[in-house]
Amino acid sequence: MAKYITSIRDLMIQAKTISDIKTKAKEGDPEACFQMGMINLLGIKTPIDFKKASTFFESQSLTDDPDACRLLGFIGECEGNYSVAFKNYAYAAGSNSKRPYLNKVFEERNNLQGFFKKMVLPNAVLNKEITAILNEYIKDGESKVDASVKLATLCDDEITCLEAAQSLYGAGNLYSAKRWLQMGKVANTNELLITITNKLSDSRKTLKLPDVLQVIDIKGNSLLVNSNSSSSIFGVKYTCDDEAATCKKTWMEEVPKLIDKIGKRLDEEEKERIKKQKEEEAAIIKKQKEEEAARLKKQKEAERQALLEEQEKRRNKIYRRYNIIYGLINAPGILLMIVFLFTEKTNGFILNFFICAIGFALFIYLPYIFIKWIIKKICKL
């Protein structure tokens, strides 16, 4: 069934867009039809409804689909409609299968049970009585004969009655075999019916009265007398009907609990996802803010650096002009000091040097520094 659905969890997630699935199902999309069948069978966002589920599984796009047939078989079994159940189990095996009819039913029910376990659905959903009968059927011998009759009693249709007749014929019980063919309303042209009728006709001609009495006495069966099936065999139907009701009740009680449990888990996951998403968004916003703050800081630093560089350029330009102008203005005074230093012999060279240094400091250097400070203040450099 993996081609349609992998888990109940995935189906519940997909059911959030149930309107889209319904639309596709109306258009005949096989996957959407199967999903809608499962949604109604499991009661996802809707009460459990076997009838609606069957309608989707029976849609034309799922005709002869083994997965849909298998689930239709299960629904028929829970509803106590065993003929429908068995036919759908057999359809699930495929028409090309060479296995006997009831072997197909047995194997497909096992496949369905495996599907239920994989889906974590209640294990006790298949009719235990039918399971026991089918287990007896595959043993062959007398067990197969008894099981065939019980299953024919349950279904009372042509195919299970024919199966019972074949088992009885193989066991040598010709009259009972013929009776089951008649109960199944098998056509008079049926090869087995013709063979049994001919053999019974021949036996009537050859048997003598003591032989007839002896045949009647064997296990309550007779080639000539119509012996009714024991009440225990027909009691199987009532047992299976009771178990079908129990299976349906189990499904109705247990599946909603499972769906609710998975739903709560999905809600928790959704809350966790939203929480994680918000945390991730908050982290992204925080990171963006930090990056923006860093960018602004870097930008401001760059602007400040550019401003400082611009100020430095302006300052150097002004200072260069100031130095030139100030140098030109004070050049005569400096020349006079040099001349005075080297030409005046009255006070001596050292004293003249000291006088020139004081004069340079007081009248040239200190005014230079003071004027430069004033320029810096005025220009805000």
Domain parsing of the chain, residue ranges: 8-267, 268-379
**What CA–CA distance (Å, rounded) separates 322 from 57?**
101
Furthest CA-CA distance within the chain: 186
pLDDT tens sequence across 119-149: 888 777 899 999 999 999 998 888 899 999 9
The encoded tokens of residue 181 equal: 């063919």
Beta-carbon contacts of 157 under 8 Å, excluding residues fewer than 6 positions away, are 83, 87, 184
Instruction: Give pTM, 2 decimals.
Output: 0.70
Give the lowest-confidence range in 63-67, 158-162, 195-199, 351-355: 351-355
Q: pLDDT confidence of 204, banded at 50, 70, 90?
A: low
| DSSP one-letter string for 225-292 | S-PPPPHHHHHHHHHHHHHHHHHHHHHHHHHHHHHHHHHHHHHHHHHHHHHHHHHHHHHHHHHHHHHH
Question: What is the arithmetic mean of pLDDT over 79-94?
Answer: 92
The encoded tokens of residue 7 equal: 């888990």
**What CA–CA distance (Å, rounded) separates 216 from 102?**
31
3-state secondary structure of 330: helix
Q: What is the CA radius of gyration of the chain?
A: 53
Question: What is the arithmetic mean of pLDDT over 319-339?
Answer: 83
Dihedral of alpha carbons 319, 322, 328, 334, sign: negative
**What CA–CA distance (Å, rounded) separates 181 from 158?**
7
Q: pLDDT confidence of 7, banded at 50, 70, 90?
A: confident
Residue 323 has what pLDDT?
83
**What CA–CA distance (Å, rounded) separates 117 from 149?**
30
Higher-confidence residue of 343 and 247: namely 247
Higher-confidence residue of 126 and 352: namely 126
**What CA–CA distance (Å, rounded) separates 195 from 174?**
10
Give yes or no for a contact between 159 and 184, defined as CB atoms under 8 angstroms apart.
Answer: yes
Helices 101-118 and 82-93: crossing angle in degrees, nearest 10, is: 90
* Nearest residue to 80 via CA among 238, 272, 258: 238
**What CA–CA distance (Å, rounded) separates 23 from 29?**
9
Please state, in angstroms and as integers, the Cα–Cα distance from residue 87 to each residue in 90, 102, 109, 243, 339, following that order.
5, 10, 12, 19, 136
Give yes or no for a contact between 89 and 77, defined as CB atoms under 8 angstroms apart.
Answer: no
pLDDT tens sequence across 27-65: 999 999 999 999 999 999 899 999 999 999 999 999 889
Dihedral of alpha carbons 262, 263, 267, 268, sign: negative
Residue 119 has what pLDDT?
84
* Nearest residue to 234 via CA among 149, 159, 169: 149
Buried b (16+ CB within 10 A) or exposed e, 303-331: eeeeeeeeeeeeeeebeeeeeeebeeebe
Residue 310 has what pLDDT?
87
